[in-house]
């Protein structure tokens, strides 16, 4: 999902995430809306439309891992790794104002 919105304008990226049926798109949409809101808070004098925001960078890195044990045949145990991740979004601006 991150590859679909990398380098796209913010409005187009929101539409891509909003109308995609995957579960991850909902979470990325919420994160992108948060990044836009952070930009508005830092740059109160400029609007998002005039700034020409785009998704400059989006990274998905591995996060913490919960390790659990599950019973296996003949008295053994198998390790179950419940993985999580960290997502980082960096917004860029076409008119070279402060970016988020």
Give φ, ψ of 20 to 5 degrees: -90, 145
* CA distance to 21, 31, 53, 81, per residue, from 100 (Å): 28, 13, 10, 34
Residue 45 confidence (pLDDT):
82
- Assessment of whether the complete model's pTM goes beyond 0.85: no
Task: Decide: 32 and 90 in contact? Cβ < 8 Å.
Answer: no
Question: Which one has a higher pLDDT value, 96 or 69?
Answer: 69
Banded model confidence at residue 96, pLDDT cuts 50, 70, 90: low
Q: What is the pLDDT of residue 11?
A: 92
The tokens of 39 are what?
């930009």
Question: What is the rounded CA–CA span in Å between residue 95 and residue 42?
Answer: 15
**Does 62 score more than 90 pLDDT?**
yes
Structure tokens at 91: 């917004």
DSSP assignment letter at 7:
T
Q: Is the dihedral of CA 31, 5, 8, 6 positive or negative?
A: positive
């Amino acid at each position: 999902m991150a590859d679909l919105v990398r380098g796209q304008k913010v409005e187009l990226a929101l539409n891509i995430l909003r109308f995609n049926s995957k579960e991850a798109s909902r979470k990325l949409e919420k994160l992108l809306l948060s990044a836009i809101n952070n930009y508005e808070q830092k740059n109160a004098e400029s609007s998002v439309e005039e700034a020409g925001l785009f998704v400059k960078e989006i990274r998905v890195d591995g996060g913490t891992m919960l390790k659990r044990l599950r019973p296996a045949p003949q008295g053994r145990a198998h390790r179950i790794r419940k993985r999580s991740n960290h997502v980082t979004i960096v917004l860029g601006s076409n008119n070279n104002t402060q970016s988020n």
